[in-house]
Amino acid sequence: MESRTVDDIFQDAIGRLDRAAEYADLDGEALERLRYPKAMLQVSIPVRMDDGSLKIFQGYRVRHDDTRGPTKGGIRFHPNVHPGEVKALAFWMTCKCAVAGIPFGGGKGGVIVDPKQLSRMELERLSRGFIEQVADFIGPETDVPAPDVYTNPMIMGWMMDEYSKIRRRRTPDVITGKPIPLGGSLGRDDATGRGAYYCIKELERRRAWKPADIRVAIQGFGNAGQHVARLLHNDAYRIVAISDSRGGIFREQGLDIPRAIELKNQRASVSDVYPARSVCDCPICGCTECHCNPQDSAIGDVISNAELLELDVDVLIPAALENQITTDNVERIPASIVVEVANGPTSSDADESFARKGTLVVPDILANSGGVTVSYFEWTQNRSGYYWTENEVHERLRTIMVREFNTIYDLMTEKQIDMRTAAYTHALNRLSDAIEAQGTSRFFSNHIAHTPKETPTT
């Protein structure tokens, strides 16, 4: 991949505003406000390890913009967490919430840690310790965290419980993505992948596809990647390749996705927090240790993540981490459609190459907005105390995803711009309306001229 610092990721993300501003109806002051996060907190989290030693972990929480409502965004546990990355992710969340039309702004958080190296008890202490440090920075009406990379419903449950202890009252609406018994929403587990699936189904409708003719590759086989794969497989799409952090597998005839999910999610023991296996643990090799049949249709030839991106497929779904498609590899990516389930997987320079090649990119702030949309549903249910059925959640999500996809697609066609620029334009219009409603220079500079003079009394 091309060499870029994580601070460049934030500047690259902000730079997309300038391109969209040309097509948006907004005040320049509104654009300026969106260039800077509203607040950022860095914390140190002391954790007593199982061997009795003390270890200090660094964590961050960013609130980018709360003009349209409380900030909203995940917390990731990853060794490469960096403040520049967290700022970029919070900015993307601001735009994502505006695209979906939900009353949230963007937030994000993270802890520098390899969670797979922690025991279950150490992971719980870290999760609770992070909330202890940021408790005054978050809240149901201020900033509402959610799961992200290497965090999950169980971790969200710990975090909600810790915040509730600090506040001396039960506060399920402070965290979303929780387990169902702790106030989670039905339909939240597959929301990100399902939102992307609804986008692909709209492309299918507009382009009159036959699903069985469409070859799909998915980079990233965590929660979002698994669910979009499952839903597409159920509709007879041919998913020929999947990958995770350790590598991938390819099978020209298509993979048995339910079986691949089963194999991927096997754990070494029932107490494991994370799956112990990779999708590439069982290639066509006749291995005996894993007791897999080499003819199993969930097994294929081992490939790298980089090779997966360059496969000759119709739809490429990056569902891993940011900055995966850059000027170093974009010219070798033949897929005609890229659906970004990950946050920021494509650099702006690579976007320009895709535009020249005529590649349609369904951008992250639209394609993966299903997660934050159903998080909004969960927050709403927590605050009302009334919970919806899974079918209600799915239908409400489908309504939003279909509406916003078609609005952005039509704007792209009308303005003759790429779909990412159209999505940012759509977001900017909504953000600008909210910012201008509070007053900008356009209002205040004309205040004196337009203030009516008092009528003299007689």
- Helix, strand, or coil here: 280? coil
Q: What is the pLDDT of residue 268?
A: 43
Q: What is the pLDDT of residue 5?
A: 53
CATH architecture for segment(s) 38-182: 3-Layer(aba) Sandwich (3.40)
When comparing pLDDT for 105 and 13, which is higher? 105
Neighbouring C-alpha atoms within 13 Å toward the C-beta of 75: 33
Least reliable range by pLDDT among 90-94, 118-122, 263-267, 347-351: 263-267
Q: Give the Cα-Cα-Cα angle 89, 92, 95 (nearest 5 degrees).
A: 155
Q: Write the pLDDT tens digit of every residue in 103-145.
A: 999 999 999 999 999 999 999 999 999 999 999 999 999 999 9
Q: CA distances (Å), 297 to each of 229, 260, 291, in order?
A: 15, 8, 14
SS3 content of the chain, % helix, strand, coil (to 5): 45, 15, 40
Q: Calculate mean pLDDT across residues 446-454.
A: 53
Given a cut of 50, whether residue 286 has pLDDT beyond it is: no
- Six-digit token pair at 437? 């409603």
Q: What is the pLDDT of residue 12?
A: 79
Give yes or no: 453 in active site: no
* Long-range contacts at 386-392 (CB < 8 A, ≥ 24 apart): 387/185, 387/186, 388/185, 388/186, 389/186, 390/186, 390/187
Task: Please say whether the beta carbons of 241 and 300 come within 8 A.
Answer: yes
pTM surpassing 0.85?
yes
Q: Between 191-207 and 390-415, two packed helices, what is the crossing angle to 10 degrees?
A: 50
CA-based nearest residue to 314, from 337, 331, 330: 337
Task: List CB contacts of 126: < 8 A, sequence separation 6 or more.
Answer: 45, 47, 57, 77, 111, 113, 115, 118
CA-based nearest residue to 279, from 312, 313, 315, 255: 255
Q: Write the pLDDT tens digit of every residue in 35-85.
A: 899 999 999 999 999 999 999 999 999 999 999 999 999 999 999 999 999
Say which of 108, 178, 201, 264 is annotated catalytic: 108
Helix (H) or strand (E) holding 200: helix 191-207
* Long-range contacts at 30-36 (CB < 8 A, ≥ 24 apart): 30/428, 30/431, 30/432, 30/435, 30/436, 30/440, 31/428, 31/432, 33/65, 33/67, 33/435, 34/65, 34/91, 34/94, 34/428, 34/431
* One-letter identity of residue 247: G
Given a cut of 60, whether residue 7 has pLDDT beyond it is: no
Strand partners, 337: 315, 360
Given a cut of 90, whether residue 19 has pLDDT beyond it is: no
Residues above pLDDT 70, as percent of the chain: 88
Q: Calculate mean pLDDT across residues 422-437.
A: 89
Q: What is the pLDDT of residue 32?
A: 85
CA-based nearest residue to 111, from 188, 36, 41: 41
Domain residue ranges of the chain, discontinuous segments joined by +: 38-182
Helix (H) or strand (E) holding 351: helix 348-357
pLDDT band at 164 (very low <50, low <70, confident <90, very high): very high
Mean pLDDT for all residues in the chain: 88
Q: Write the pLDDT tens digit of every residue in 313-344.
A: 999 999 998 889 999 999 999 999 999 999 88
Q: Write the pLDDT tens digit of every residue in 372-384.
A: 999 999 999 999 9
Q: How far apart are CA 345 and CA 342, in angstroms?
A: 6
Looking at residue 297, what DSSP letter applies?
T
